[in-house]
């Protein structure tokens, strides 16, 4: 699932390419045909959500879920499917077009979504706040003292806690695993038994790893791609994620994969004993 670095990278790219453009046609869902004639006035992120603020007091709320990613290009409908002359758009991960938004400059904004889990909702601007009110603070803007304070109130295993969007908005499976490895904390460790030093290490590496992932334009281990169709670069920096049975870069022990909180979790049994 796209996490904060992937969603933020997408938002920054969309801002530079489609801001102030107007929707002229929509393919893929009759419920979104009301977008016709609406101008994109602002694009922003909240947690893992993308928000298009539109003219006429409307907003398009997007959650990419497991496999969704936006693409900007040009497609033609041939032989019962949408085709692009651009080679990068012919890559398998970029061919599962679920929506195409035709813009007034001749470009098309498409959503590729193999598993069709992405959710798009056209709402009034005031309704957006209600949909997002349960989200926790943004992980890149929260101060260390505030992070320690709200973590003090939590109970349960640390990895599911970090991934709880009501606790902290934007963190998911990939980066939670990487952060806990750097902090030398087992993903199943109960928050109650974390020391202040443990919590400070989590906060420190959370900031460093997410900022690094932003620099590399996200992680394309799975379906995520840039709006150009290209891959992000963070998958080349993995320390434990997706490295089952490979040697740890620190101690050379084999990376293990278990389930914690119902999610596949990678860790080093030597570096993350506690």
User: Which position among 38, 48, 182, 231 bears the catalytic label?
Assistant: 48
* Catalytic residue check, 5: no
* Catalytic residue check, 74: no
DSSP H helical segments within the chain, as ranges?
4-18, 125-132, 144-152, 158-163, 173-183, 196-215
Integer Cα distance of 209 and 169 in angstroms: 15
User: Which position among 65, 157, 257, 263 bears the catalytic label?
Assistant: 263
Yes or no: say if 67 and 117 are a contact pair by the CB < 8 Å rule. yes
List, in order, residues 6 or more apart from 215 with CB less than 8 Å away.
none
For residue 205, give both structure tokens.
Answer: 């590496």
Integer Cα distance of 68 and 96 in angstroms: 9
Phi then psi for residue 63, to 5 deg, are -120, 120
Which amino acids are annotated catalytic?
2-3, 48, 263
């Amino acid at each position: 699932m796209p996490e904060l670095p992937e969603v933020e990278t997408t938002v920054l790219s969309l801002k530079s390419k489609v801001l102030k453009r107007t929707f002229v046609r929509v393919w893929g869902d009759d419920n979104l045909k009301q977008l016709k004639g609406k101008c994109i006035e602002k694009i922003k992120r909240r947690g893992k959500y993308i928000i298009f603020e539109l003219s006429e007091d409307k907003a398009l709320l997007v959650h990419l879920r497991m496999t969704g990613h936006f693409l900007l290009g040009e497609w033609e409908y041939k032989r019962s499917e949408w085709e692009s002359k651009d080679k990068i758009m012919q890559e398998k991960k970029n061919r599962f077009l679920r929506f195409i938004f035709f813009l007034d400059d001749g470009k098309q904004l498409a959503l590729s979504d193999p598993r069709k889990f992405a959710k798009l909702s056209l709402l009034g601007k005031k309704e957006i706040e209600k949909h997002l009110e349960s989200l926790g603070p943004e992980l890149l803007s929260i101060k260390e003292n505030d992070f320690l304070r709200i973590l003090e109130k939590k109970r349960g295993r640390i990895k599911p806690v970090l991934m709880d969007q009501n606790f902290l908005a934007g963190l998911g499976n990939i980066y939670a695993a990487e952060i806990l490895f750097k902090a030398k904390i087992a993903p199943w460790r109960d928050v109650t038994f974390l020391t202040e030093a443990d919590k400070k290490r989590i906060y420190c590496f959370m900031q460093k790893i997410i900022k690094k992932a932003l620099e590399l334009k996200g992680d394309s281990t799975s379906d995520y791609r840039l709006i150009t169709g290209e891959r992000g670069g963070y998958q080349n920096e993995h320390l434990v994620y997706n490295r089952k049975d490979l040697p740890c870069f620190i101690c050379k022990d084999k990376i293990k994969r278990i389930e914690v909180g119902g999610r596949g979790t990678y860790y080093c049994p030597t570096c993350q004993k506690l």
